[in-house]
């Protein structure tokens, strides 16, 4: 086992650091407070190859694996996790769904635009009344000749307004039937396809979240991904990889908060010495660093399994569950170390704190991860 960055990872990490310092850090609070989704920033990230990390080079991507992908999301999230979240959603959900389940013609049509950042992608599974219970979705697609007529709405969708294309999973069979759902690709501008309410969120405010609305939206059968009835199974496979994404996002937040707390603890003088020299603070830092290290190891184990096409559902759920809970804990402790200053917007830890909570909710709550892990353990 090699625990060091390989040459590519080291290059990516430095490239992202340089980019983030120049293009992201000066705008963090403006984007957060005004809830600006900086579309042009993602075009630049696309030019650098970070909007198609997992996409083969022949389709316009970087042709990299999950270890490198973790590095990209983590390094961006150490500076601004809102941007990290959008990069993760674009790569692992929309783009990866098409890459994994589309035919060659469909891949050539959509993947190059997504991989280069020319287009921004959205992915729709969740609805107003169905979060963890995706099988109870109400959005339907009814076959009409060579077309499908889609009606309903999707909720909490990243890039629902600004996205150029969306992969959506809708019901084509009976409610509750895991083989009664199908995935479709729908381009912006399709009649009957629109966006709705933008969510006013606690954190991740520069990452756009809104509704997708379908009102007699007609799409060609050529826009169907895979066979009719495979949508839910496809979605679950995509979410396996998505857990690595949210784990990487969590790792970035935790590292960003920890590094800010460590720096502050060395600079803040109380009773004649830096507070880092007090055992109460030193022990907090020790716990934070250890748990971050554990998160990173779990994530890269899941990445190894994913890269080698080995079963990784349990490993991915463990990594996502642990890393997301750690990032909330670390962000909380980072504020505590800052004291009253941590509660102000003059220091970065309050934003890490607000952003962190989504990681225990998005792409499967902590409770759902425990359910996935326990079920797999009991299969043996």
Catalogue the active-site residues. Answer: 363
97 torsion bin: left (phi>0), alpha (psi -120 to 50), beta (else): alpha
Rounded-to-integer distance, Cα 89 and Cα 47, Å: 18
Helix (H, G, I), strand (E, B) or coil at 121: strand
Distance of CA 27 to the CA centre of its chain: 21
CB of 334 within 8 A of CB of 257? Answer: yes
Any idea which residue has 């030193």 for tokens? 282
- What element of type H or E holds 140? strand 140-144
Question: DSSP string spanning 148-203?
Answer: EEEEEEEEEEETTTT-SEEEEEEESS-TT-TTSEEEEEEETT-TTEEEEEEP--SS
């Amino acid at each position: 086992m090699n625990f060091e960055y390989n040459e590519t990872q080291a290059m990516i990490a430095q490239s992202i650091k340089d980019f983030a310092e120049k293009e992201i850090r000066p705008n963090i609070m403006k984007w957060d407070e005004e809830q600006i989704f900086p579309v042009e920033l993602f075009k630049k990230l696309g030019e650098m190859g970070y909007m198609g990390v997992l996409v083969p080079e022949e389709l316009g991507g970087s042709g990299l694996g999950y270890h490198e992908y973790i590095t990209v999301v983590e390094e961006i999230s150490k500076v601004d996790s809102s941007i990290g979240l959008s990069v993760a959603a674009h790569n692992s959900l929309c783009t990866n769904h098409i890459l994994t389940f589309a035919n060659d013609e469909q891949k050539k049509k959509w993947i190059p635009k997504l991989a280069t950042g020319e287009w921004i992608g959205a992915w729709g599974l969740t609805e107003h009344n169905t979060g963890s219970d995706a099988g109870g979705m109400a959005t339907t697609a009814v076959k009409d000749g060579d077309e499908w007529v889609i009606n309903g709405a999707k909720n909490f969708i990243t890039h629902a307004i600004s996205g150029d294309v969306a992969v959506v999973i809708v019901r084509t069979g009976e409610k509750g039937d895991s083989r009664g759902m199908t995935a479709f690709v729908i381009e912006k501008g399709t009649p009957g396809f629109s966006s709705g309410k933008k969510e006013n969120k606690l954190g991740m405010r520069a990452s756009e979240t809104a509704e997708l609305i379908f009102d007699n939206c007609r799409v060609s059968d050529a826009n169907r991904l895979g066979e009719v009835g495979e949508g839910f199974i496809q979605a679950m496979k995509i979410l396996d990889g998505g857990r690595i994404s949210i784990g990487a996002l969590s790792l970035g937040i935790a590292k960003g908060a920890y590094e800010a707390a460590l720096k502050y603890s060395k600079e803040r003088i109380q009773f004649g010495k830096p507070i880092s020299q007090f055992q109460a603070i030193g022990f907090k830092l020790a716990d934070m660093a250890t748990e971050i290290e554990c998160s990173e190891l779990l994530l890269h184990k899941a990445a190894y399994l994913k890269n080698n096409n080995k079963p990784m559902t349990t490993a991915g759920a463990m990594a996502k569950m642990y890393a997301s809970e750690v990032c909330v804990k670390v962000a909380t402790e980072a504020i505590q170390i800052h004291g009253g200053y941590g509660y102000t917007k003059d220091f970065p830890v309050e934003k890490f704190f607000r952003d962190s909570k989504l990681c225990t909710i998005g792409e499967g709550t902590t409770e759902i991860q425990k359910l996935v892990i326990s079920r797999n353990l009991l299969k043996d």
